[in-house]
Amino acid sequence: MSRVDQIKAEDWPQELKDMLKPELLTDLEQGLMRYFAHTPELVKGMVAFSGGLKRHRTLPERLVELVRLRVAFFNQCRSCMAIRYTDAVNDGLTEDLVCSLEKPVEAENLSDAEKAAIHFGELMATDHLRIDDGVYEELKRHFSQAQIVELGMIVAFFVGFGRLAATYHMVEELPQAFRDDTREMAPWGNEAVIVR
């Protein structure tokens, strides 16, 4: 059960309904918005920021999703780990790739660029002060300066909002395996839900 009350989409202020079109989304896809609807003015800014990160993204969807799932593991955000986004699946994300996230350094099916981005995301989620010149030099081997900044902004979003979502304990709509909060979960090896 969630620790913060959800606001059902039919009870959202009209301006949020107009902006987010919740009637086109499942409860799971409405996600954090069911909580953020308590603060509709703040939602507008957050939606503009997250929408900008999505619409203006230059990094491959598959890479971003792999990073998101590795960060979700360290955040222990069950809803984040249970979801796979359609854009990433269409860009080649498979459950075999997701299973590679258990030991990404050893994975033969991840590119060097994906491994560098995953490593950066992992450090941001666990010990950001270990991100040093060497980490950035490895990123520069695979990404432009603009893409490195983009990656940083995306990962910061994943770390911060993923941790917040984990504290809300948003598990009601998740597959059963992700509802168990008595043990550490992983995005690999469990039933996932594909969303838009």
User: Per-residue pLDDT tens for 179-189?
Assistant: 877 778 888 88
Judge if 107 and 19 occupy the same domain.
no
Question: Are 97 and 189 members of one domain?
Answer: yes
Give domain status of residue 98, yes or no. yes
In-domain check, residue 3: no
pLDDT at 89: 96
Q: What is the pLDDT of residue 166?
A: 92
**Does residue 87 form part of some domain?**
yes
pLDDT at 195: 84
Question: Do 34 and 91 belong together in one domain?
Answer: no
pLDDT at 36: 94
What pLDDT was estimated at residue 181? 74
Q: Which two tokens stand for residue 130?
A: 């270990």
Q: Which domain holds residue 41?
A: 9-55
Q: Is residue 42 part of a domain?
A: yes
Query: Domain count of the chain?
Result: 2
What is the C-alpha separation between 12 and 170, in angstroms, rounded? 18
Residue 2 lies in a domain: no
CA distance 98 to 123: 18
Is residue 1 assigned to a domain? no
Q: Domain check: are 86 and 167 in the same one?
A: yes
Please provide the DSSP assignment of 10-37 as one string.
Answer: GGS-HHHHHHH-GGGS-HHHHTTHHHHT
Closest alpha carbon to 63 in 127, 110, 122: 110
CATH for 109 = 1.20.1290.10
Q: Kindly state whether residues 108 and 47 are assigned to the same domain.
A: no
Question: What one-character-per-residue DSSP string does 41-85 give?
Answer: HHHHHHHHHHHHHHHT--S-HHHHHHHHHHHHHHHT-HHHHHEEE
My answer on whether 124 and 70 are in the same domain is yes
Asked if the structure places residue 139 within a domain, the reply is yes
Q: What is the pLDDT of residue 191?
A: 78
pLDDT at 108: 97
pLDDT for residue 26 = 83
Can you give the pLDDT at residue 175? Answer: 81
Residues of the chain with pLDDT under 50: none
Residue 15 belongs to some domain of the structure? yes
User: Which pLDDT score is estimated for 189?
Assistant: 80
Q: How far apart are the first and last CA of the chain?
A: 24
pLDDT value for 171: 85
pLDDT at res. 54: 93
